[in-house]
A and B are shown apart, each in its own frame.
Chain A
Amino acid sequence: MSVPDGWLAYGDEQQERVGFFTDTSVCIGCKACEVACKEWNLVPEDGLVFTGESYDNTSTLGANSWRHVAFIEQEKPLRLDDEDGEPLRWLMSSDVCKHCTHAACLDVCPTGSLFRTEFGTVVVQEDICNGCGYCVPACPFGVLDKRHIPSLPATTTRVSGSEPQASERPDGRVWKCTLCYDRLKGGHEPACAKACPTDSIQFGPLDELRARADARLEKLQQENWNGVQLYGRDPDDGVGGFGAFFLLLDEPEVYGLPPDPVVTTRDLPGLWAQTALAAGAVVLGVVASFLGGRR
């Protein structure tokens, strides 16, 4: 059940399934992951907007932000047994594409641009995507997103004080985390994990990460951490488990994550079957009415 769709088809070329375990209990909110991702993948800057959302000026994952560090200020103690200090904590969490075991974006992509890699990850091919956007509402996390700003030539550097230079053509394609497919091919870990100074972002074989996460959860529970839980680790959840899962310190909603994500194409076969039934009934009715008319 928890085998990614399409992954087994690689046969001999199939690689170990890899992913991320993002342990937010050691995230220091430095955003090195955001910058490393943009540097490596040539993701453009998309606006200098002061949001007022604590230290988060990225706000959300999108076509131009493949890593997003959320900052949540709370008047809650870090540990349940902490009575002396101020009840105050600042949660930081680096969000990313979940690389779902059952990925709706893959199901709906009409061009084959979105595909399952030999590493079990989900990647958009930029030279095939036609910008139809079907995958955008299909993603239960709102990760898939069309790039609306004009694309910049990769070599563009800006002179201090000058306006952004627009290129000749606007983009309109869908962009998201590739789990650094190119780096994986070369035997390197993804840029964000490489840059993370505290190992909050851990990269590796998914089975190994899950085991590590279980041990981590147990340790933090013993240490009385407030609200500690794993998110997306369970292969039996609505998307068959995440390829990139998390250790959170509060409910997923607090971080802007859906509490119980379900692959949006789950009910499609049933829907199609019912539609077919209904269509058949209509046809029967029509035929029946003609038959009746002859009488």
Chain B
Amino acid sequence: MPGLGTSFGRGGATDYQQDLQNSDVITIMGSNMAENHPVGFQWVMEARERGARVFHIDPRFTRTSAMATDYIRIRAGSDIAFLGGVVNYILQNDLWFEEYVKRYTNAPVIIDERFQDTEDLDGLFSGWDPEKRAYSIESWSYKGMAVHGSGGETEQGFRTKGEQSGHGGHGGGLHHGEPPEEDETLQHRNCVFQILKRHYQRYTPELVAETCGCSVEQFVDYCEAITQSSGRERTGAFCYAVGWTQHTVGVQYIRTAAIIQQLLGNMGRPGGGILALRGHASIQGSTDIPTLFNILPGYLPMPRAEYYGNFDNFMKANISPTGWWGHFKAYWVSLMKAYFGENATEENEWLFEKLPRVDDDNSVYWTTQQMLDGKVKGYLLAGENPAVGNTNSKAHRLALAKLDWLVVRDVVEIESAAFWYDSPEIASGELKTQEIPTEIFFLPAATHTEKDGSFTNTQRLLQWHFAAVEPKQDCRSDLWFYFHLGRLIKQKLADSQEPRDELIKALRWEYPTHSAIQEPDAEAVLAEVSGWEVPTGKFLSAYKELKEDGSTVCGCWIYCGAHADGINQTARRKPHWEQSYVAPEWAWAWPANRRLLYNRASADPDGKPWSERKKFVWWDAEQGKWTGLDTPDFEETKPPDYVPPDGAEAEDAIAGDHPFIMQADGRSWLFVPQGLEDGPLPSHYEPHESPFDNPLYSQRSNPVRLAPERPENRFNDDRYPYVATTYRLTEHHTAGGMSRTVPYLSELQPAMFVEVDPELARLEGLEHGGWATISTARTSIEARVMVTDRLKPIAVEGRKTHQVGLPYHWGSRGLTTGAAANDLAPIALDPNVHIQEVKAFTCAIRPGRRRR
């Protein structure tokens, strides 16, 4: 989540859902929260009952819109135009929270004179290299400061990327506490505030209405509502989900909201913040302790093959001189001690030389293309169903059919395991079972009710669950599978003398097991993740205790303390009515059990609450420490008037009135000098496939987007006139493996359907309840027709357009079967995190079933 990471310092939801009850206005955009997060949505309802206005801004009128006080219909893919318009409205009308913006954000910082904006270069920022289709970011930096870790300092071309940059962005090159050049009056032509003002000056209410398809009145009403809920007494919150992220410019959608929340002074305060609503039970956990190729636990970067000759250089490139990333080495060494125990020593540089290196992209869509080219032999799929869930699913099925072997671990035989005899391509004859060489191994997995473990939910909360029953037959937990796989591999390599096997031999791989199936003890794993002191075995209680000399073990520094005092803190179950509404004794949240991130900002620069009504964390001068309703997100005893001495390092370089302690300068970033591939400020770009021109720049779409055109991934032309967007329903779970197989869920939504407005139905001859065929350059699918007033044509750039809604849960397996909507969408990706654009692409629609 680099949108949040680069803006505030941590790539996680800044708030917890229960806090929404304190909001005076809630914006739900890029999210269908009522349908996809119904349990958390109760707090939105609570806020509404307390008098908050709830805005749902979305292409479709959904169950969320039905519960909102206000609904604004916009065109899919136009959100930055809308939000940029809000930024402009705030700045033009002087509605920003002055004291907050001047003291807590980087608004006063002066940017390098070489910087040129999209306003100057017609949709491009300075540093654009048309050959490489990439930006060189030197000109985006703070004036007079080399960007740390980039361009020539140690290793040419190094750049934090993707999820890594989500966790800090490694600063704007602040060397030893030296503050950047600033203009406190915000008048300097090249200060962030003035750049921001110029950048959004053309995002007028009229342009917003023209581009997004809403009315000027609706837009202004919204702007008035959120600006009136700003300042000392009032706050507003944003909720978003994959409706924002799944675009070729998705990270910048979130950045735009981050700018609004900074200008309105809503970060770190009760009822404020930005809630990133994650899609699965533990998606947050799967980036914290990642299943990603380019990061290690706690957002530490994987070493890359082309850089870092040695350990020292690697450290130099990653240790931020200022802020909490200044302790990078302690986090790193503690992780290596968790992996390798006694085998990792200072002398062997904690086995750095032996670690594998990332040598290429290796993300899922890149790998699929390599498969299509026959360059991948084998594939292990666990908890993924790309034949339904990934964009251009057909390309994924074709790719799987080129493997030598495929292992699928899942609770049911999903489409990705059955594609070789049951798929649209088998039905059409495009693939023939006898010609597919892939040998497929299906390994049945245990469900969450059959194993102990923790979920890390959308608000960074680790909640423990206990096994209710033993898994049946050959079903096994993931923990069981990887533990015994590792054990057997180590056994087989025990006598190996090969250098390549040394690292596996060095792995510490001892966990107690129990029961007849030798299930590893999940709590022992949590204990290692949380960490202990090597000499004493004492459990650690916070990441501040981590050491760089190898005397601490910690499997994920941000989770340090989850097993403090030898107690499973994530299993705590004290209900909120037996404690404060913040409920700090319910489970455990990273980091350090903080529920509301950056909560130093809930107090004014002097450390006093902004108001009695929004009191949360404050400086207690008598006791000489920060206190309040939550764990303060600040050094406990650092006074508000602390000024860093010259040469201060790490957290000592953060001033007492700078609440964003993970940022190198302790401020939130309106302008992001480093950490993003596609620009320091969000600009409106059209989706990769759009029926419209960009009304602002001649550069139509995000110039840095990745859109590999190939026979399996062709792109639409103007024969596909309608805007399509995919979505989920309450009744089903993502790619359907866990819901289309359940009778009680299948009967509630028993068929794949397509939502269209009545006018489009008349235009194309579609009959409610009948069949329609939806087509793109990729393929065609069929679906039942749902004609509904909840969709309406909208006028954009003087033209009427229709939007088509496609739930993506269906596939060829299970009790209810149907076409996969993702078959239609292109592989067109955001450059920062390589996420697919499935929330806005084009399509055609005709009545009748798909011809075979």
Contacts and interface: CB of A to CB of B under 8 A. Distances in A.
B732 to A, nearest CB: 11
Contact of A90 (B63, B743, B769): B63
A73 B789 contact: yes
A85 B218 contact: yes
A234 interface: no
B768 A88 contact: no
A199 interface: yes
Contact of A47 (B741, B745, B747, B768): B747
A92 B67 CA distance: 10
Interface in B778-831: 784, 786, 788-790, 792, 813-816
Contact of B41 (A52, A57, A197): A197
A48 B61 contact: no
Interface string B8-52: 000000000000000000000000001100110110010001000
Contacts of B67: 26, 28
A78 B54 CA distance: 13
A160 B813 contact: yes
Interface in B47-106: 49, 61, 63, 65-67, 69-73
B181 to A, nearest CB: 45
A29 interface: yes
A125 B500 CA distance: 70
Is the contact region of chain A dominated by helix, strand, or loop, or is it mixed?
loop
Contacts of A84: 70, 217-218, 221
A167 interface: no
A28 B65 CA distance: 10
Contacts, number: 117
A111 interface: no
A198 interface: yes
Contact of B750 (A29, A38, A49, A89): A49
A197 B730 CA distance: 13
Nearest to A48: B750
Interface string B734-776: 0000000101111111110100000000000000110000000
The number of chain B residues touching the other chain, given as a range, is 35 or more
A221 to B, nearest CB: 15
Given A50-B751, A58-B748, A85-B71, A28 B769 contact: no
Contact of B747 (A28, A46, A54, A197): A46
The number of chain A residues touching the other chain, given as a range, is 35 or more
B731 interface: yes
Contacts of A88: 61, 65, 71, 789-790
Contacts of B768: 52
B404 interface: no
Interface string A65-103: 000000001010010000011101111100000000000
Interface in A11-40: 26, 28-32, 34-35, 38-39
A39 B61 contact: no
A29 B813 contact: no
B413 interface: yes
Contacts of A250: none
Considering residues A29, A47, A54, which has the most beta carbons from chain B within 10 angstroms of its beta carbon?
Answer: A29
Minimum-distance CB pairs A-B, first 10: A45-B743, A48-B750, A50-B751, A90-B66, A52-B769, A30-B38, A28-B34, A197-B39, A30-B730, A45-B747
Given A30-B63, A52-B784, A57-B750, 5 more contacts: A26-B49, A35-B748, A54-B788, A55-B749, A88-B789
Interface of A: 26, 28-32, 34-35, 38-39, 44-50, 52, 54-55, 57-58, 73, 75, 78, 84-86, 88-92, 158, 160-161, 197-199
Interface of B: 34-35, 38-39, 41-42, 45, 49, 61, 63, 65-67, 69-73, 217-218, 221, 412-413, 729-731, 741, 743-751, 753, 768-769, 784, 786, 788-790, 792, 813-816
